[in-house]
Amino acid sequence: MLMEVKALSTEFKLKRGTVRAVDDISFTIDEGEILAIVGESGSGKSVTALSIMGLLQNPGRIAGGEILFKSQDLNKLSQKELQKIRGNRISMIFQEPMTSLNPVWRIKDQIMESIMTHMKVSQKEALARTIEMLDTVGIPSPAERANDYPHQMSGGMRQRVMTAMALSCGPDLLIADEPTTALDVTIQAQILELLYRMREKFGMAVLLITHDLGVVSEAADRVIVMYCGKIVEEADVKSLFARPLHPYTVGLLQSIPQIDDESDEPLYMIKGMVPNPLRMPRGCPFSDRCDRCLERCSQEMPKLQDVDGHKVRCFLYDVVSEGGHAQNE
């Protein structure tokens, strides 16, 4: 096991109250595994990533829990100790390739900075490694493009540069926060393919954060579905797509347009809106949008429980009180 997150909670203290963006979540990542976290914006998936990286900015802070990376609690490390891990053992690529690179630095200087921060190498070796990495991520004529400024590259190229930068120190874990969202569809596929290929080549684990189930189905080994800061379902990718359990996951899957769908029925939409994070319902956060809401759903919070190899947070599968999942069939 590479990483184990235990009961992590992250809060934002705002003037009008405290928002618990990540609420008591636990999961593990194995070495070399691609784990996807899926959810709408505001579901806390990006905040989870930033919490792991120790990159939360005011007013955000980790309210509790442990982030065990190789049995070491990152949450207990000082910023200085974290800096040794960040960009080195754990690195991250972001959603916006257009704005995530420093506009006034040459590409090579930005990658070399990463290498020279963490590895004891000379300037020359760092440059050689930079060009090698650019080549690996598929930048044509890397030695020349290394001298470019970010604005001279396309979005897809910049995301490749970001990937090269993130992988330059050979991390054990790569966190990819919506790496394809800002890109054209054709480029999206290329970047996903790149991530996959890099995993094969370097063997690092990937935490893939996305709102796009299509991306998940192509790339991930295992999936966590988050809603309002909570894990609502967790399963391996095949089983999740074949047999989603939580009504939210079901809704998400139904709202993906299918090419071979010949019926005239309109595309399914989950009704309602994500609740205001300052006024969370008392019970299940999805209760007021759920098609199959039970009476107790709005009163108490269901627990995450094992059902058929899934973990799911829903009273529909509560064996004791509702008579098991037979009801679901």
| Binding interface with another protein (CB under 8 A) | 12, 14, 16-17, 19, 21, 41-42, 44-47, 50, 53, 55-57, 60, 79-80, 82-88, 91-92, 94-96, 99-105, 113-114, 117-118, 149, 151-152, 162, 165-166, 177, 182, 274, 276-278
CA distance 258 to 249: 16
- Residue 248 near residue 287 (C-beta atoms within 8 A): no
Min CB(84)–another protein separation in Å:
7
Min CB(103)–another protein separation in Å:
6
Min CB(8)–another protein separation in Å:
15
Task: Name the residue nearer to another protein (CB basis): 276 or 321.
Answer: 276
Helices (H), the chain: 45-53, 79-85, 107-118, 123-136, 142-145, 155-167, 185-202, 213-219, 237-242, 247-254, 319-322
Min CB(15)–another protein separation in Å:
8
Task: Name the residue nearer to another protein (CB basis): 274 or 301.
Answer: 274
CA-based end-to-end distance of the chain: 35
Task: Name the residue nearer to another protein (CB basis): 63 or 245.
Answer: 63
- Maximum CA pair distance of the chain? 67
Task: Name the residue nearer to another protein (CB basis): 95 or 317.
Answer: 95
List 25's β-bridge partners, or say none: 8
Pick from 274, 267, 231: nearest CA to 249: 231
Min CB(215)–another protein separation in Å:
16
Q: For tokens 């690179």, name the residue.
A: 101
Task: Name the residue nearer to another protein (CB basis): 124 or 279.
Answer: 279
CA distance 3 to 26: 11
- Residue 76 near residue 70 (C-beta atoms within 8 A): no
Min CB(246)–another protein separation in Å:
21
Task: Name the residue nearer to another protein (CB basis): 44 or 302.
Answer: 44
Task: Name the residue nearer to another protein (CB basis): 145 or 311.
Answer: 145
**Percentage helix, strand, coil for the chain under 3-state DSSP, each rounded to 5:** 35, 25, 40
Min CB(241)–another protein separation in Å:
24
Residue 97, preceding bond cis, omega within 30 degrees? no
